[in-house]
Amino acid sequence: MFDTLTSSFTSAIKKIRFHDDEKALKKALTELKKNLLKADVNHKVVKQLLGDVEEDVKTAGIGKDQFLNSLQKRLHELLLVPGHQGFVFGSKPPTTILMMGLQGSGKTTTTGKLALYLKNKQKKVLIAAADLQRMAAVEQLIQVGASVEVDVYHDENETDPVKIALGARKKAEAGLYDVLLIDTAGRLAIDEELMGELKAIKNAVQPDEVFYVADSLTGQDSVRTAASFNEQIGIDGVILSKYDGDAKGGVALGIASQVQVPLRFIGNGEKMPDLEVFIPDRIVNRLMGYGDIEGLAEKTANIIDEKKAKELTRKIKKGQFNFNDFLEQMESMKKMGSMKSLIGMIPGMGAMGDALKNFDLENSGELKSIKAMVSSMTMKERENPDLLNNSRKKRIAGGCGMDAMDVNRVLKQFKNASKMAKKFSGKKGMQDMQNMMSQMQGGKMGALPR
Ligand code: GDP
């Protein structure tokens, strides 16, 4: 999700690679400035960041290491404003969060995403439908709740959102819920009535935190409205939605320091798992092109069963990875959300984000036909495709709308992939893999910093 920003940083870093003199530093700074402005990072933020880096490097002595160290340190400072990181539980359950935002910002979707995020952490979550302004908002929230299998509090006969919020709180306390997320009303623009309603809810329920959902597609406008909500109501965190559609992405870099409220989560897709916790340390690593292994591990931990993963590794090592395992893997990967939301977390892969941007696991034609093909096979055949004779291949081809040649091709590819995986799973294999990766990076993607 930080493709553009990451490539801004890595290309500037490269500029200072081999020439440790003032000219190289200027060149790197100019490159960084140009790219950051192009990525829609606020100009004051850019000026401050680069001014600080220049000063640091001049004091420490010009060189790539000093440049990298300073950049890393100053990026931390930029993103770390006073306040919490990620989701923080209150001292007494239910931790109550008010969700605010303008209409269409993605507030309702984000409420569902957050509920799923917490549910995956084994928390009991209740979401409350206190957006009584927009027609069908309650219905939308009920659907969102159902899709993530989380309880929704709603009352169609009540017209006062404050009473809804209080009713939800009562239910959350009585039902021993860990977290209560209250979805509030939005408007197309800020107005007094809306602010009055939100203030009244905040006063009545005294939430642990208020999250403001900002639509990253509205660029610097999202920063201004977040600041305005903060002044008028007080917010504790910003969630930046629709980051997947924001080709520039610079807002994420400046919003915390501009509003003086931490950026807590980023929404990067329409699906419920497409929410990422924003931890400055990890983000800085990603921006520097170092990846985010911790984030990746967290995201996969909820989805991949450790026992199954071990079994899978054993099978791969023995060259026994079969079509049943393949189908299971596809299903797990689907649960992790879109491919592009994962790719930037793998060290060195950030720059490949673009190439894989439109790779959609669910709708990829190739994968769809492979899945159809596997579904036409018997369990035994999936485990051992060598059992397939020509007449079976023909029948399977007919069943999945392929021709027999396609089926043969897929079987061969699968066999090769399984062999490769076996080869790479040993110690020497890892070495081979690393060599291959560095060759790829040296060529198409450019050398990695570090
Ligand atoms: P609300 O009026 O603020 O509650 O907004 P909704 O939750 O109804 O979202 C408005 C639209 O934005 C819907 O079509 C959502 O699917 C879409 N949306 C929300 N978050 C994201 C996101 O992170 N990425 C993308 N691509 N779309 C999103």
User: What is the per-residue DSSP string for 242-308?
Assistant: -GGG-SS-THHHHHHHHHTS-EEEEE-SSSTT-EEE--HHHHHHHHTT---HHHHHHHHHTTS-HHH
The verdict on the CB of residue 418 being under 6 Å from ligand 1 is no
Do the domains spanning 95-288 and 297-442 agree at the CATH topology level?
Answer: no
Structure tokens, 124:
């009991």
Mutate to test the pocket of ligand 1, among 109, 243, 268, 276 (most ligand atoms within 8 A of CB): 109
Domain ranges of the chain: 3-79, 95-288, 297-442
- Å from CA of 206 to ligand 1 middle: 27
Residue 105 Cβ inside 6 Å of ligand 1? The answer reads: yes
| CB of 186 sitting under 6 A from ligand 1 | yes
pLDDT at res. 162: 97
Ligand 1 center–CA 109 separation, angstroms? 6
Q: Is 363 exposed, middle or buried (0-12, 13-18, 19+ CB in 10 A)?
A: exposed
Q: What pLDDT is stored for residue 114 in this prediction?
A: 98
Regarding the domain with residue range 297-442, which homologous superfamily does it belong to in the CATH classification? Signal recognition particle, SRP54 subunit, M-domain (1.10.260.30)
CATH class of 95-288: alpha beta
Q: How far apart are CA 302 and CA 335, in angstroms?
A: 10
Coil vs helix vs strand at 126 = strand
Nearest ligand 1 atom to alpha carbon 137: 4
- Does residue 94 have a cis peptide bond before it, meaning omega lies within 30 degrees of 0? yes
Mutate to test the pocket of ligand 1, among 131, 241, 243 (most ligand atoms within 8 A of CB): 241
DSSP string, 136-149: THHHHHHHHHHHTT
In 80-208, where does DSSP find H-type helix?
107-119, 137-147, 161-174, 192-205
Three-state SS at 87? coil
pLDDT values of the chain reduced to their tens digit, one per residue, 450 residues:
577 788 888 888 777 765 678 888 898 899 899 989 988 899 999 999 999 999 999 898 888 888 889 999 999 999 999 999 999 999 999 999 999 999 999 999 999 999 999 999 999 999 999 998 877 899 999 999 999 999 999 998 999 999 999 999 999 999 999 999 999 998 888 888 899 999 999 999 999 999 999 999 998 999 999 999 999 999 999 999 999 887 788 899 999 999 999 999 999 899 999 998 998 988 888 888 777 666 666 666 666 666 776 777 777 777 777 787 777 777 766 666 655 566 666 665 555 545 555 555 555 666 777 788 888 888 889 888 889 999 999 998 888 888 888 888 888 877 877 777 676 666 555 555 555 555 544 443 333 333
Specify burial of residue 436 (Cβ count, 10 A radius: 0-12, 13-18, 19+): exposed
Tell which CATH classification among 3.90.340.10, 3.40.50.920, 1.20.120.140, 3.40.640.10 matches the domain 3-79.
1.20.120.140
Q: What is the DSSP string of 344-406?
A: TTSTTTGGGHHHHTT--TTT-HHHHHHHHHHHTS-HHHHH-GGG--HHHHHHHHHHHT--HHH
101 lines ligand 1 (CB under 6 A): yes
CA of 441 to the centre of ligand 1 (A): 35
At 129 the three-state DSSP class reads strand
* Distance between CA atoms of residues 174 and 432, nearest Å: 58
* DSSP-assigned letter for residue 83: S
**Stated pTM of the model:** 0.73
Residue 284 to residue 286: CA distance in whole angstroms = 5
Q: Is the CB of 242 under 6 A from ligand 1?
A: yes
Confirm or reject: Cβ of 244 under 6 Å from ligand 1. yes
